[in-house]
């Protein structure tokens, strides 16, 4: 089921990979405590570039309390393509966690990025970079965060991205 794109006075619609990538970087730059992502995979347009990796490192290093939680359907393709986020998550496993969504949550086809308790990016169809970003959406983020936390509680740690200790 595809949800409708939420709109209000502060939501900014977008309809391209370039805008989705640009807004993702802006959201991560604005983050102070927590970044949560949900989607079918570790999206390569949003997360597989060095600029974004650098922004995540800056975010993580700003405080002991900073965390990144990534909840996806699977990571096989990302692992095979040597996604830049995976080695970072392996190196910083206490700060960046990758989980596999429960079977019931893998039916969801949207992609969302939640930042702190204030901002989000949302695409109702993860295969298309059409959606909205809102940098001032405390009420919507609160509801989406509750849904994310419920899915996270049902999820499992991703063994494909676990660092092997030899």
pLDDT at 75: 85
Whole-number Å distance between alpha carbons of 16 and 132: 11
pLDDT at 2: 45
pLDDT at 5: 55
pLDDT digits (tens, 9 = 90+) for 80-99: 677 899 889 989 989 999 99
Q: What is the pTM of this model?
A: 0.90
pLDDT at 116: 97
Look up tokens 């309809």; give the residue.
15
pLDDT at 1: 40
pLDDT digits (tens, 9 = 90+) for 15-36: 999 999 999 999 999 999 999 9
User: Quick one: 12-157 is in which CATH superfamily?
Assistant: Endonuclease Chain A (3.30.870.10)
CA–chain centroid gap for 86, Å, is 13
Angle, in degrees to the nearest 10, between helices 17-30 and 50-61: 20
φ, ψ of residue 99 to 5 degrees: the values are -120, 155
What residues of the chain score a pLDDT lower than 50?
A: 1-2, 165-166
pLDDT at 129: 96
């Amino acid at each position: 089921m595809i949800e409708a794109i939420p709109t209000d006075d502060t939501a900014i619609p977008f309809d391209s990979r370039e805008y989705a990538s640009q807004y993702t970087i802006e959201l991560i730059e604005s983050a102070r405590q927590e970044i949560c992502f949900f989607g079918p995979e570790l999206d390569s347009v949003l997360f597989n570039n060095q600029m974004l990796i650098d922004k995540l490192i800056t975010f993580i290093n700003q405080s002991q309390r900073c965390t990144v939680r990534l909840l996806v359907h699977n990571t096989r393709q990302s692992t095979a393509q040597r996604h830049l986020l995976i080695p970072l998550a392996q190196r910083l496993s206490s700060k960046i966690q990758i989980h596999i969504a429960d079977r019931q949550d893998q039916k969801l086809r949207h992609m969302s990025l939640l930042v702190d308790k204030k901002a989000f990016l949302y695409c109702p169809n993860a295969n298309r970079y059409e959606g909205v970003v809102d940098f001032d959406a405390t009420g919507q983020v609160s509801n989406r965060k509750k849904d994310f936390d419920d899915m996270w509680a049902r999820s499992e740690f991703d063994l494909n991205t676990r660092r092997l200790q030899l």
